[in-house]
Amino acid sequence: MDLKRTFKDLDFFDVELYKYKVVEKINFLSIEEREEILKKANYNLFNIPSKYITIDLLTDSGTNTISDLQLSNMMLYDESYAGASSYERFLQAAKNFCNKEFIFPVHQGRAAEKILAEILTKPGDIIISNTHFDTGFAIYKHFKANPINIPTPYYKDEKYNFKGNIDLEKLEEMLSKENVSHVVMTITNNALGGQPVDLENLKQAYRITKKYNKIFVIDGCRIAENAILYKKITNSNKTIKEIIHEYTNFCDIFYMSTKKDGIAHMGGFIATNDELLIPKIRQLVILYEGFPTYGGLSGKDMELIAKGLEEALDEDYLNYRIKQVRFLGDLLKDMGIPIIEPVGGHAVFVNASEFIKHLKPEDYLGQSLVIELYRLGGIRSVEVGYLMYSKDAIMNLVRLAIPRRTYTYKHLEYVAYIFSLIKENINNLKPYRIIEADELVPHFTAKLEPVY
Ligand code: F0G
């Protein structure tokens, strides 16, 4: 008999890594009730109160379940305006996580994006990325700059493991010809399926960018998930922390929203070793966020993040995390639902254009699936496609983001069951049109209606 039975050896068995200490009751409504709610919400799931949601896969951002140790550490909070001891613990944890010397807390990822956009760009500048996430994309546009996505040409190739990569040839060509202010690598590549970025690709992108003397930025809010995927793909025997540091060694600025891999509810930070950038960042942190030893965060937030960043380096946790995401991906795949494969770190992305053949992207086919998932099962997901990016959409996807340590394997089986019901009547999915939406962030604000 094989006596080795650590969590890692139990890869063949779907067992939870955590047990409950506090629970929250979920609401199961009737389909008729949900139809009413959808109408009132103008068919935009951002408008639905969470009490009407059964399984919330809208985002993995800030929706994480905290650990007993995070909760108890939170009680050590020090809310001093300057030099709080909670800041000291936050600082140590952030430095340990990303291996940069200077750390500026901010209230969440987009606060970092706003500060970096203001420091690094002028109107008309181009900002290249493997794929910008929607907040950064909109913020650069707001600053009258041009965010451009150049994902690897292999991003649709099922056998390609690092679909989060950037197109190195295009990068060099654009840097040599265009007015580029800086390059942002999003790790993992959220908008393109939560796909990992290869260390080699990152290193080369960094070298090319530095050849043209431009700033290289990592948006690393899911870099721990990238590290476990990288470790598995390459059979590396390095620790998660070592792998993360190998990535962060190749950037001028690292920033992250700690609402993701920080396993916290709020927060983020900007990190650098570049002494010339420090006064510029510090000044804007003070103007927009708060004194640089709290930067928009309470002491309680900083305590939660400090412990969360430590827990994010635990390999058992990361194995459990990506195994759960893969579990849902496998269930859907086995039912013949087209998904982005291999599944990435934080979410399963359904390829809505392949699933719903009778509708066009302009019918908001992804949103149509999002609406049906709610109507039939109370599941909240998000469209990543024509509604989010309009004509800039690279693909039409529906993201099922899995909050960290929050749902069980059984919950995910329920999600797959609802998909099986949708599949049976896929041709009933309706086209939608937008009645009203804000210009820069249409998916958050759009009011929609069925075309018939
Ligand atoms: N960068 C990436 C890659 C993100 O996924 C997000 C947020 C941000 C930056 C902005 O961070 O929310 O703290 O301001 N993504 C969330 C999501 C909202 O659902 O994927 P934030």
Residue 85: per-residue pLDDT? 98
Distance 177 CA to ligand 1 centre (A): 30
Residue nearest to atom 8 of ligand 1 (CA): 109
**Once rounded to an integer, what is the mean pLDDT over residues 383-401?**
89
Distance 132 CA to ligand 1 centre (A): 10
DSSP 430: P
**Once rounded to an integer, what is the mean pLDDT over residues 295-306?**
98
Token pair 């800030």: residue:
62
Distance CA 21, CA 329 (A): 28
Lowest-confidence segment of 72-81, 93-102, 149-158, 234-243 by average pLDDT: 149-158
| pLDDT of residue 242 exceeding 70 | yes
| pLDDT of residue 303 exceeding 90 | yes
Q: What stretch of H or E contains 96?
A: helix 85-98
Ordered DSSP codes for 341-392:
SS--SSEEEEEHHHH-TTS-GGGTHHHHHHHHHHHHH-EE-EEESHHHHGGG
Distance CA 222, CA 256 (A): 8
* Type of residue numbered 55: I
In a shared domain, residues 277 and 339 = no
Convert the pLDDT of each residue in 419-430 to its tens digit: 999 999 999 999
What are φ and ψ of residue 350, in 5° steps?
Answer: -90, 135
Query: Is residue 128 helix, strand or coil?
Result: strand
Q: Which of 258, 284, 311 is the last residue of a domain?
A: 311
Residues with CB under 6 A from ligand 1: 59, 61, 108-110, 133, 135-136, 186, 190, 219, 221, 257, 259, 268, 401
**Once rounded to an integer, what is the mean pLDDT over residues 147-156?**
93
- The pairing of beta strand 180-186 with beta strand 215-219: parallel
| pLDDT of residue 2 exceeding 80 | no
In a shared domain, residues 235 and 135 = yes
In a shared domain, residues 359 and 403 = yes
Q: Which of 311, 341, 375 is the last residue of a domain?
A: 311
In a shared domain, residues 262 and 387 = no
Distance 312 CA to ligand 1 centre (A): 17
Q: 221, 226, 380: which to mutate for ligand 1, most atoms within 8 A of CB?
A: 221
**Once rounded to an integer, what is the mean pLDDT over residues 148-170?**
94
Q: Assess contact for 48 and 380: CB atoms under 8 A.
A: yes
**Once rounded to an integer, what is the mean pLDDT over residues 113-127?**
98
Distance 292 CA to ligand 1 centre (A): 22
Higher pLDDT, 452 or 29: 29
* Type of residue numbered 50: S
In a shared domain, residues 237 and 358 = no
Token pair 């000291």: residue:
88
Residue 232: per-residue pLDDT? 96
- For residue 1, name the pLDDT band (cuts at 50, 70, 90): low
Distance 268 CA to ligand 1 centre (A): 10
In a shared domain, residues 56 and 77 = no
Ligand 1 atom with least separation from CA of 60: 19
| pLDDT of residue 445 exceeding 80 | yes
Residue 443: per-residue pLDDT? 87
Ligand 1 atom with least separation from CA of 135: 10
Among residues 452, 430, 451, 432, the alpha carbon closest in space to that of 442 is found at 432
Q: What is the mean pLDDT of the chain?
A: 96
Ligand 1 atom with least separation from CA of 382: 19
Q: Which residues have a Cβ under 8 Å from the Cβ of 193 and sit 6 or more positions away?
A: 155, 163, 164, 340, 343, 344, 347, 349, 397
Distance CA 364, CA 387 (A): 6
**Once rounded to an integer, what is the mean pLDDT over residues 28-48?**
98
Q: Which of 311, 345, 380 is the last residue of a domain?
A: 311
Q: What is the CATH number of the domain that holds 348?
A: 3.90.1150.10
- The pairing of beta strand 382-384 with beta strand 397-401: antiparallel
Ligand 1 atom with least separation from CA of 186: 3
* Type of residue numbered 102: F
Residue 3: per-residue pLDDT? 65
Q: Write out the residue range of the structural domain in which residue 208 sits.
A: 68-311
Higher pLDDT, 222 or 440: 222
What are φ and ψ of residue 271, in 5° steps?
Answer: -130, 140
In a shared domain, residues 97 and 111 = yes
Distance CA 281, CA 265 (A): 24
**Paired tokens of 181:** 């202010």
Q: 127, 135, 443: which to mutate for ligand 1, most atoms within 8 A of CB?
A: 135
Residue nearest to atom 18 of ligand 1 (CA): 61
Q: Which residues have a Cβ under 8 Å from the Cβ of 164 and sit 6 or more positions away?
A: 130, 151, 152, 186, 187, 188, 189, 192, 193, 195, 196, 197, 198, 226, 344
Query: Is residue 155 helix, strand or coil?
Result: coil
Residue 393: per-residue pLDDT? 83
In a shared domain, residues 320 and 370 = yes
Residue 369: per-residue pLDDT? 98
Q: 190, 269, 397: which to mutate for ligand 1, most atoms within 8 A of CB?
A: 190
In a shared domain, residues 186 and 276 = yes
**Once rounded to an integer, what is the mean pLDDT over residues 347-357?**
97
Ligand 1 atom with least separation from CA of 346: 20
Q: What is the CATH number of the domain that holds 124?
A: 3.40.640.10
Instruction: Return left, alpha or beta for 193; rule: phi > 0 is left, psi -120 to 50 is alpha, else beta.
Output: left
Ligand 1 atom with least separation from CA of 108: 13
In a shared domain, residues 322 and 185 = no
DSSP 329: H
Q: Assess contact for 385 and 395: CB atoms under 8 A.
A: yes
Residues in the chain: 452
Among residues 306, 409, 356, 389, the alpha carbon closest in space to that of 77 is found at 306
What are φ and ψ of residue 51, in 5° steps?
Answer: -65, -15
- The pairing of beta strand 347-351 with beta strand 397-401: antiparallel
Residue 325: per-residue pLDDT? 97
| pLDDT of residue 4 exceeding 90 | no
Residue 5: per-residue pLDDT? 79
**Paired tokens of 208:** 């090319």
What are φ and ψ of residue 435, in 5° steps?
Answer: -95, -35
- Give the count of beta carbons closer than 10 Å to the beta carbon of residue 142: 13
In a shared domain, residues 98 and 240 = yes
Burial of 276 (0-12, 13-18, 19+ CB in 10 A): exposed
In a shared domain, residues 338 and 227 = no
Convert the pLDDT of each residue in 199-213 to its tens digit: 999 999 999 999 999
Distance 185 CA to ligand 1 centre (A): 14
Q: How many domains does the chain have?
A: 2
Instruction: Locate all alpha helices (DSSP H) within 161-222, ordered by sequence.
Output: 168-177, 199-211
Distance 220 CA to ligand 1 centre (A): 10
Lowest-confidence segment of 131-145, 343-357, 395-409, 435-449 by average pLDDT: 435-449
Global pTM value: 0.96
Residue nearest to atom 4 of ligand 1 (CA): 133
The percent of residues in the chain predicted with pLDDT above 70, rounded, is 99
Residue nearest to atom 1 of ligand 1 (CA): 133
**Once rounded to an integer, what is the mean pLDDT over residues 358-366?**
96
